[in-house]
């Protein structure tokens, strides 16, 4: 899924005041940032797949005329949303 990106740099273009240790430290820092961004993207992709599945389920229930089951599913989602909001509010207070 992830691809390695390599940027070539000519040695004569590196300023004299930047040493190898500094470059390695900066590379390590940037790699850490990229890894955290990649992890966030993966989490968000999983979240979007979950949301897609929920929406498809709701649409199918509506199209099939199963309004009772649709209403139950919407109530379940609303209760879950309320719990999430309460947990966010509690975290903000702390």
Render pLDDT for 24-40 as a digit per residue (tens, 0 to 9): 999 999 999 999 999 99
Could you read off the pLDDT of 49-78 as tens digits, one per residue?
A: 999 999 999 999 999 999 999 999 999 999
pTM: 0.62
> Do the beta carbons of residue 68 and residue 84 sit within 8 Å?
no
Q: Which two tokens stand for residue 89?
A: 């509010």
């Amino acid at each position: 899924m992830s691809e390695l990106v390599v940027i070539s740099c000519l040695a004569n273009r590196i300023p004299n005041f930047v040493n190898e240790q500094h470059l390695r430290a900066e590379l390590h820092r940037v790699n850490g940032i990229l890894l955290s961004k990649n992890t966030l993207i993966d989490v968000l992709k999983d979240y979007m797949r979950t949301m897609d599945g929920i929406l498809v389920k709701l649409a199918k229930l509506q199209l099939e005329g199963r309004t009772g089951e649709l209403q139950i599913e919407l109530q379940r989602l609303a209760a879950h949303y309320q719990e999430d909001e309460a947990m966010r509010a509690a975290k903000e207070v702390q």
